[in-house]
Amino acid sequence: MIEKYSYGEYVIVYNGQIYNTSELKDTLLENGFSFNGHCDTEVLLKSYIYYGNDVVNHLNGIFAFAIWNSRKKELFLARDHFGVKPLFYTIKNGSLIFASEIKALFEYPGIEKIIDNQGISELFGIGPAHTPGTTIFKNIYEIKPAHYAIFNNYGLHIKRYWKLKSEKHTDSFGTTCDKVKYLLNDAITRQLVSDVPLCTFLSGGLDSSIITKFASDYCKDNGLPPLDTYSIDYVDNDKNFVKSDFQPNSDNYYINLMNRDLHTNHHSIVIDTPELAEYLEDAMIARDMPGMADIDSSLLLFCKNVKKEMTVSLTGECADEIFGGYPWFFREDALNSGTFPWSIAIDERQKLLNPDIGSKVNLKNYIDYRYNESLADVEILDSDSADTAEKRKISHLTLNWFMQTLLDRSDRMAMYNGFELRVPFCDYRLAQYVWNIPWEIKALNGREKGLLRYICKDFLPDEIVDRKKSPYPKTHNPTYLAKVKEMLSGIMKDNNAPINNLLNREYILDILNTDGKAFTRPWFGQLMTGPQLMAYLCQVNMWLEKYQPKIEL
């Protein structure tokens, strides 16, 4: 939620949650500050007054904020370490306009919705991810994660305040396990502090089970009522589930196992296929761009239902990025792809473009540029083994691109419903420590998240610890494919549909004729196959109709 607070010559607007508020407040009290209440907004502003620009190095939390100094006529903007909270801006006639949503910027007179060559490349080459610092719209930018900016009469000055630092790991195996467990417990415990109803999302996977275990123990130790947990499922999903490399098993058995073990107060939210399709437009509006199709709309609906009873939830998001849990950390075809390993269908992406536009926009060249630019930022140590060096590169890409996409998804879909998601695995201290653990230890016993599994074997059921990674659940109901095929077919029958001016109509018709079987392996991430591509194309048309961008090539 956006909050505003003023003090003397300073005014702050702020979105987020600071998890070390009490420590900051103690320091400020010792240095002569007083407080009118208990909100972290007041603590954040007075921390800035005390620390100045260095305040960002004293914050543990998720945040995007701007502070105006009326005496100096200077604006300070900052964004959290991994960019959980959004912060967009543009400069118009010498003025800086900023907001937490792109759509808000377009309310300012004279700011145009323009898509140029780079925007097309972002949307269809990188999307639904995006290059940090950019958007699909010309002259609309974001403050990058772990950056702050100062805007004054001398212009806009941006500085990076934090990055993962490569250092030789010298701790013993036992010490490594102890430190990871301590950092996990501390991150989760800090994020359980809330003055509104709080729960956890529980899928029965390793990551959400860890969060739920620590949260449940916290409730018991502090005399609180049993923890509320929530899971998502889809009508007839068990009946239609099909095992794949990327989704090897369904969740229900493991959710019930954890509930019996922890005695939580569990709630299952069941989404029906028509809702997933109906909320594709809402999900697109929440992102201000086409996104992860029903992977987005399902989370939006999930948060919408949970919000009826809760206000905040902790999730297991980001564990796979931090601890090396994705298939592409292990698959040779992905490791040797020479591109972003979650998005290797480059030829198919190019083919989606209208031939006239495709002749002016070379997606592969753009993707290669962004890929190599990102890899150049990786710091490899002479002491790194060949495996660790290789996995540093793939980890860097995953943390800065794929994780950012999922964090965007989580925040946008939740906040669209006035709901807050917290991500303890994304604690920057935990990420920094795990970054330097050698791959041979991180992937202990050759398993994805092998170290994390080993650490949890003493407090989680064996079946949870040994369960093969399974991503966020999607619908397997064939009626969803039928529904999005019907939606896309209706769009293609409309000669005035704006998608026909941007994309390759004949290729889309071919995709429709194969029932999406042209994309049986994911074209993005682990879940987005044929049905999700059709839904994505529907979102593209919805976006073109609603935002009506001007195409400049």
Listed in sequence order, the DSSP H helices in 126-195 are 173-191
286 in Cβ contact with 416 (< 8 Å)? yes
Q: Which pLDDT belongs to residue 246?
A: 46
Q: Which pLDDT belongs to residue 515?
A: 61
Q: Splitting the chain (553 residues) into consecutive groups of 10 residues, what average pLDDT does each group show? A: 83 97 97 90 97 98 97 97 98 96 97 97 95 98 98 97 97 98 97 91 96 96 95 76 51 90 94 91 98 94 97 97 94 88 91 95 97 96 95 96 97 97 98 98 96 96 89 74 92 93 92 70 74 92 97 93
Quickly count: other Cβ atoms within 10 Å of residue 29's Cβ.
12
Spatial distance between the Cα atoms of 326 and 361, rounded to a whole number of angstroms: 31
* Domain-wise residue ranges, the chain: 2-160, 173-328+400-466, 478-545
Fold for the domain defined by 173-328+400-466: Rossmann fold (3.40.50)
Question: pTM for this structure?
Answer: 0.94
Spatial distance between the Cα atoms of 126 and 349, rounded to a whole number of angstroms: 9
Q: Which pLDDT belongs to residue 519?
A: 61
Fold for the domain defined by 2-160: Glutamine Phosphoribosylpyrophosphate, subunit 1, domain 1 (3.60.20)
For CA atoms 163, 166, 167, 170, the dihedral sign is positive
How many Å separate Cα 92 from the centre of its chain? Answer: 29
Angle (CA) 422-425-431 rounded to 5° is 130
